[in-house]
Amino acid sequence: MTPLELREKGYEILVTHLGQADTIRFLQQMGWGHGDYTKEREEILNNVTREELGQDLQRIRDRKIN
């Protein structure tokens, strides 16, 4: 499972069990949503290849179609 797939599955489980509002509250309590978002995304995505990005996008599209 890629990091993107894991993150999506985690969000899906949280929203299913907590609802959208409480999921956001939970993530805020865990410290997510704080810090320098732009810098963190740059660091995370710096090592992602175009091929990996394309594969992740295709998996997301395939899942929405099914």
How many domains, the chain? 1
* Rounded CA separation 50/41 (Å): 15
**Average pLDDT estimate for 7-35:** 84
For residue 55, pLDDT beyond 70: yes
For residue 5, pLDDT beyond 80: yes
What type of residue sits at position 14?
A: L
For residue 34, pLDDT beyond 70: no
For residue 59, pLDDT beyond 90: no
Containing structural domain, residue 26:
3-65
Closest C-alpha among 43, 40, 56 to residue 32 = 40
